């Protein structure tokens, strides 16, 4: 393994691993490598909506993030409009959020990953490297031993798991508690497709495409979303439905009959028929159960920690998962940049890593858990499943008011300081 300094392995090269690598690779004294199990660094799936906190965090990691997002074809969301999609009031506008300088963006996941990887020296990126096991404290000087599926073994000063919801690093970090805090079905399944802008406009209705925005439809037992990406050329269409009895398999084939049956109460409304028509027109159609981490007792174990979906996988109802991953990168980047900030300090930087990871856990876990819990209850509201609110537009408006505030209003400078103070306290 090339490089001198504190040797750090990031396991997983998705949006989290790539963002974190950007936060760490230019920090003096760190030698960072990213290991991805797939044959190439790639993203599946459709778009990701990045709200203001996500954009702010990304800017901290990559100051030229506006240009990066433009290269990825990100489209300003301008606003997010939610209407009723089923029932006697179908079509009623319930809430409109965002707009102006506060607007987030929608971006194709694969294009975003491509641009996040672009600034990283290729010598740091290792594809086809699947981690199979970890061990620490058995080897010299607190190193962490990493075994890969190809039989190779490497030693690092620290390992950061960005290996997604079914993370192996998470299992290591949680040890005997891992099974108790394993990911589990959240209560919905969804399908997402990409269609051309012109086709979406013709099928759904041009009144919804006057400018790029996120259009959401809330209704009985489900939710439909369409938004614009790829510089305005593509529309993402998603149908999410309540799942009372999750099947064992997360992924299952999807048919037109299944969608028509699930959206039976929506078919007279303004969106369901068009959405089903656009979705079933796609090849290789699948539905996916939404899973989440309902609880996680820690993100850190010695010199190993977890970030992104490995630590805090959430449902997509507040569009907040990637933003939390970017915030992870900011906080961990700040802590790792400050391992050797005090010239009078005689403790070796490498011996402070465990405290940095503990501080990361202390400041990040409560916020991420709040996002997970809030997102789940937002999903219940959105699908008319809250018994006190139902699909009453006024009650929905009241329930949605201020719901995103705690996510958007984070003061990153204060938050970074809080993390640093925590690390100093742990080292004192
Ligand atoms: C349907 C859906 C919609 C979403 N919409 C939004 C949204 O609008 N806005 C938002 O902010 N967030 C959204 N999210 C959340 C966001 O997409 C995720 O939080 C984010 O993509 C997580 O990235 P990650 O890199 O942590 O995990 P992943 O994308 O899962 O990446 C993990 C990587 O690790 C690799 N890996 C796994 N195991 C190993 C191993 N043993 N060794 C080496 N590599 C390994 C995998 O191959 C993969 O490349 C959504 C999520 C879902 C499911």
In a domain, 22, yes or no: yes
* pLDDT of res. 231: 79
292 lines ligand 1 (CB under 6 A): no
* pLDDT of res. 100: 53
Of all protein residues, whose CA lies closest to atom 41 belonging to ligand 1?
131
Which regions of 300-410 does DSSP assign to beta strands (E)? 300-301, 304-306
- CATH assignment at residue 306: 3.50.50.60
In a domain, 89, yes or no: no
Mutational test site, ligand 1, from 11, 12, 37, 154, max ligand atoms within 8 Å of CB: 12
In a domain, 45, yes or no: yes
In a domain, 101, yes or no: no
Q: In whole angstroms, what separates CA 142 from the centre of its chain? A: 31
Tally of domains in the chain: 1
* pLDDT of res. 326: 98
49 lines ligand 1 (CB under 6 A): yes
Of all protein residues, whose CA lies closest to atom 51 belonging to ligand 1?
316
Q: What crossing angle do the helices spanning 52-61 and 321-337 adopt, rounded to 10°? A: 30
Give 176's Cβ-side CA count (13 Å radius): 0
* pLDDT of res. 2: 45
38 lines ligand 1 (CB under 6 A): yes
Q: pLDDT by residue (tens digit) across 391-418?
A: 999 999 999 999 999 999 999 999 999 9
Give 109's Cβ-side CA count (13 Å radius): 18
Q: pLDDT by residue (tens digit) across 84-141?
A: 999 999 999 999 887 554 578 989 999 999 999 999 999 999 999 999 999 997 656 7
Q: Structural domain of residue 314, as residue ranges?
A: 6-73+106-184+293-383+405-427
Ligand 1 atom with the smallest distance to the CA of 169 is 41
Ranges of residues in the chain whose predicted pLDDT is under 70:
1-4, 99-102, 138-140, 341
| CB contact set of 189 (below 8 Å; sequence gap of 6+) | 240, 241, 243, 246, 287, 288, 289, 290
Q: In whole angstroms, what separates CA 90 from the centre of its chain? A: 31
* Length of the chain in terms of residues written: 428
- CA separation for the pair 76, 106 (Å, rounded): 6
In a domain, 331, yes or no: yes
- CA separation for the pair 407, 63 (Å, rounded): 21
- Please choose, from the candidates 374, 351, 361, the residue with its C-alpha nearest in 3D space to the C-alpha of residue 419: 361
Mutational test site, ligand 1, from 164, 237, 332, 378, max ligand atoms within 8 Å of CB: 164
* pLDDT of res. 140: 61
In a domain, 234, yes or no: no
Mutational test site, ligand 1, from 160, 168, 240, 309, max ligand atoms within 8 Å of CB: 309
Question: Which is it for strands 125-126 and 30-35: parallel, antiparallel or unpaired?
Answer: parallel
Scored b (16 or more CB within 10 A) or e, 97-109 reads bbeeeebbbbbbb
Structure tokens at 24: 């760490």
Quick one: DSSP state of residue 49?
E
């Amino acid at each position: 393994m090339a490089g001198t300094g504190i040797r750090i392995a990031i396991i997983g090269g998705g949006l989290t691993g790539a963002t974190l690598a950007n936060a760490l690779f230019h920090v003096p004294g760190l030698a960072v490598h990213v290991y991805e199990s797939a044959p190439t660094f790639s993203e599946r799936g459709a778009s990701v909506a990045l709200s203001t906190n996500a954009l702010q965090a990304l800017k901290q990691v990559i100051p030229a993030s506006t240009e990066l997002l433009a290269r990825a074809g990100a489209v300003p969301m301008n606003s997010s409009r939610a209407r009723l999609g089923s029932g006697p009031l179908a079509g009623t506008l319930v809430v409109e959020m965002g707009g102006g300088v506060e607007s987030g963006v929608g971006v194709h996941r694969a294009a975003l990953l491509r641009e996040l990887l672009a600034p990283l020296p290729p010598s740091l990126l290792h594809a086809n490297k699947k981690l199979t096991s970890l061990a620490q404290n058995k080897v010299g000087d607190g190193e962490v031993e990493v075994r890969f599926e190809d039989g190779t073994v490497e030693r690092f000063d620290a390992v950061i798991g960005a290996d997604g919801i079914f993370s192996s690093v998470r299992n290591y970090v949680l040890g005997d508690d891992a099974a108790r805090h394993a990911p589990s079905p959240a209560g919905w399944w969804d399908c997402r497709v990409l269609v051309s802008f012109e086709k979406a406009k013709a099928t759904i209705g041009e009144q919804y495409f006057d400018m790029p925005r996120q259009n959401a439809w809330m209704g009985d037992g489900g939710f439909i979303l369409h938004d614009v990406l790829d510089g305005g050329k593509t529309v993402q269409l998603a149908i999410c439905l309540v799942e009372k009895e999750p099947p064992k398999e997360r992924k299952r084939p999807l048919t037109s009959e299944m969608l028509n049956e699930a959206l039976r109460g929506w078919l007279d409304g303004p969106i369901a028929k068009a959405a089903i028509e656009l979705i079933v027109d796609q090849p290789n159609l699948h539905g996916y159960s939404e899973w989440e981490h309902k609880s996680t007792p820690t993100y850190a174990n010695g010199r190993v920690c977890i970030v992104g979906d490995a630590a805090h996988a959430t449902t997509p109802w507040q569009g907040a998962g990637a933003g939390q991953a970017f915030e992870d990168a900011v906080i961990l980047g700040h802590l790792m940049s400050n391992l050797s900030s005090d010239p009078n300090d005689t403790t070796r930087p490498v011996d402070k890593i465990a405290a940095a990871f503990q501080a990361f856990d202390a400041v990040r876990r409560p916020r991420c858990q709040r996002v997970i819990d809030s997102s789940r209850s937002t999903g219940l509201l959105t699908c008319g499943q809250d018994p006190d609110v139902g699909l009453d537009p006024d009650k929905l408006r009241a329930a949605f008011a201020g719901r995103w505030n705690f996510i958007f209003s984070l003061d990153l400078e204060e938050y970074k300081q809080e993390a640093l103070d925590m690390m100093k306290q742990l080292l004192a």
